[in-house]
Structure 1
Amino acid sequence: MTEQEGWDDVNEHVREQWTDETTPFERVYEVVETTREGASAATIAERALVSEPTARRHCKALVNTGFAATDQNGRTTLYKRDEDQVLLSRIHDLRERADREELLDGIERMKTTIHEYEDAHDTISPEELARQLSGADTEGWADVTSWKTTRRNLAVAQAALAYDEASEQLTT
């Protein structure tokens, strides 16, 4: 057996295990959950190891529940995860894991980290830093990535805090 055949066997085993342990709906859900740019029902079917009609039916159900969204590419419907739903899910998860004080502490830490990036690079944004970097500046590029991640996490934490405050106002 060649190394390539061994990998084919491993991949086939993983596919078989996935189909044995999940339903077609679960596989379509997992594929759509990782689809950001949109994919046709045929592409999703291939990735989820289901028929195209099955993929289309489950994708439509996911759109109806708000988990997925659609785009059109000519006559082809493209399915992808709904980014608003992803954001709401992240906010909900954060609210479940952290109380108000923990959110406030995390927000303060992230703001401090962002100010440290601004001071260290004498720039106001990771995009500005990226324009100044050469391709070989790996440390600078790592800071761009980390800065963007921190900024995104800060926005989610602030949204979670605002959601909590709005929920309190509605219940009082």
Structure 2
Amino acid sequence: MTDTWDDVNEQVKADWKEETTPFERVYEIVEQTRDGQSAAEIADRALVSEPTARRHCKTLVNTGFAETDQDGQTTLYKRNSDRVLMSRIRELRDEADRTELVQGIKEMKSDIRRYEDRYDVVSPEELAQQLDAGEAEGWDDLTAWRTTRQNLAVAQAALAYDEASHQLEV
């Protein structure tokens, strides 16, 4: 069975290489990279040479799509987190109108107040300090609270972005 999977994986790689350019493959790998990777690691995953990966990564950095970190002498490349955030904000602004954004913000604030009241704490971090390892429901709520807080921040930013866009049109 392993031989069959190896054959399938090799065929998928061959198809991907045939159907895309080296730049497209490097772009796709960097887009998936939250923690930095070296040009050599990206090259291996993107099926390109290391110099090709490095050249395309530098282009992505110059356009603002990627950013770099240093690990000693090694440059690590990853997607630009600000760009990802702005994409999420724009997507939400395009998907929801002002009324929907305001309603969603109200609901998320209400959800957060329920977590605060239920656990008598003011943040997920404070809740994490109080929970025991076996409290599955508490840990599930902690995760949901953090997610709600992140979504609230994005929704509020989308609302502010929408307001700023309208002000610039005037």
Establish whether TM, by shorter chain, passes 0.5: yes
Structure 2 counterpart of 1:121: 119
Structure 2 counterpart of 1:157: 155
Deviation, 1:81, is 0.8
SS at match of 1:36: coil
Structure 1 counterpart of 2:62: 64
Structure 1 counterpart of 2:131: 133
Structure 1 counterpart of 2:106: 108
Mark the runs of 5 or more structure 1 residues left unpaired by the alignment. none
CA RMSD of aligned residues (A): 1.4
Is the deviation greater in 63-72 or in 137-146?
137-146
1:53 equivalent among 47, 51, 59: 51
Deviation, 1:39, is 0.9
2:38 maps to 1:37: no
Structure 2 counterpart of 1:91: 89
Alignment length (residue pairs): 170
Q: Find the aligned partners of 1:35 and 1:106 in 2 and give their Cα distance.
A: 30
SS at match of 1:37: coil
Q: Find the aligned partners of 2:75 and 2:17 in 1 and give their Cα distance.
A: 25
Structure 2 counterpart of 1:14: 12
Q: Find the aligned partners of 2:5 and 2:45 in 1 and give their Cα distance.
A: 18
Give, as a single letter, the amino acid of the residue that structure 1 aligns with 2:137.
E
Q: Find the aligned partners of 2:134 and 2:29 in 1 and give their Cα distance.
A: 35
Give, as a single letter, the amino acid of the residue that structure 1 aligns with 2:62.
N
Deviation, 1:33, is 1.1
Moved runs in structure 1, 4+ residues, more than 3 A? none
Cα gap change, 1:141 to 1:6, in 2 (>3 Å): farther
Deviation, 1:75, is 2.2
Deviation, 1:26, is 1.6
Q: Find the aligned partners of 1:126 and 1:67 in 2 and give their Cα distance.
A: 31
Deviation, 1:55, is 0.7
Mark the runs of 5 or more structure 2 residues left unpaired by the alignment. none
Deviations 1:87-143 (A, max 9, x none): 111111111111111111111111111112112222211111111122222222111
Cα gap change, 1:62 to 1:134, in 2 (>3 Å): same
Deviation, 1:145, is 1.1
Give, as a single letter, the amino acid of the residue that structure 2 aligns with 1:31.
I
